[in-house]
Amino acid sequence: MTLSTLLIQSMAILGGLGLAIGIMLIAASRKFKVETNPLVEEVVEVLPGVNCGACGFAGCADFAERVVDDNAALDGCPVGGFDVAKEIGGLLGKDVSEGEEMYPYIRCNGGVNCIDRFDYNGIEDCTAVIMLSDGEKGCNYGCMGRGTCVRACPFGAITIGEDRLPRVNKNLCTSCGLCIESCPNDILTMAKETEKIHVRCLSHDKGKQVKAVCGFGCIGCKLCEKACEDDAIKVTKFLAEIDQEKCTACGKCIEKCPQNCIEIR
């Protein structure tokens, strides 16, 4: 048998194997094909396409599939907001009521008003700073001001001000919550627009210790609690907390606070 004959036979065998494998793959793809609900693609089209995961799912496509299968809320995309939720509702034949707008709120008024325990020279990351002796700030509960939340925001809605505290631009914020998840000290939280009175402190340290490190920290004096006629503010473990459902935003707690750590917005 000549070499050319062997080459021809080898090529024929390989070609036959390739053809057989191709036929098998086509048959398998048809047999195991997963039918996709066309509504899923339509929902994907109206979503922002950021794939940020703020909805709690693995991107826009996953959220679209879940919402079509009734396993996710119609307004589950915080980036798209009510307009997107309304479009999704229209596609699925469901009514959507507009919820109240919520934005991240900074629960700290320390920043440059809180002493530094040492000079930090390292990675500009709040988690990295906290890993080093619980952070550079005199208050272990306060904002590190190293911009982890800024970098977590894909919309450029957060900046660090001259006071070394975050600033939220509501015109850019989509309320996705990624900044909240990134904060190692839980400084950021979602607050409704109707919630006007807030305590800008998270410290549970005793008053003397707070005053020694921060000019605006809550000292647990209870003057705000006594001033509130609506029983909307209580001091627990040296920290004032506001019951937003009871609060009428009268401002009497603000007037009485000696540390100016309660504000109206």
Q: State the pairing for strand pair 188-192/102-106.
A: antiparallel
Co-location of 107 and 182 in the same domain: yes
| Chosen domain end from 191, 214, 247 | 191
Taking the C-alpha atoms of residue 229 and residue 263, their distance in angstroms, rounded to an integer, is 17
pLDDT computed for residue 5 by the predictor = 66
Co-location of 186 and 107 in the same domain: yes
CATH at 144: 3.30.70.20
Residue type, 43: V
pLDDT computed for residue 259 by the predictor = 95
| Chosen domain end from 61, 76, 92 | 92
pLDDT computed for residue 96 by the predictor = 84
pLDDT computed for residue 14 by the predictor = 66
Whole-model pTM: value is 0.73
Which of the residues in the chain have pLDDT under 50?
none
Taking the C-alpha atoms of residue 91 and residue 86, their distance in angstroms, rounded to an integer, is 9
pLDDT computed for residue 3 by the predictor = 56
Co-location of 105 and 176 in the same domain: yes
**Residue 226 belongs to what domain range?**
194-265
pLDDT computed for residue 11 by the predictor = 67
Residue 25 lies in a domain: no
Co-location of 253 and 174 in the same domain: no
Co-location of 74 and 156 in the same domain: no
CATH at 70: 1.10.15.40
Q: Which residue, 44, 27, 47, is CA-closest to 36?
A: 44
Number of domains in the chain: 3
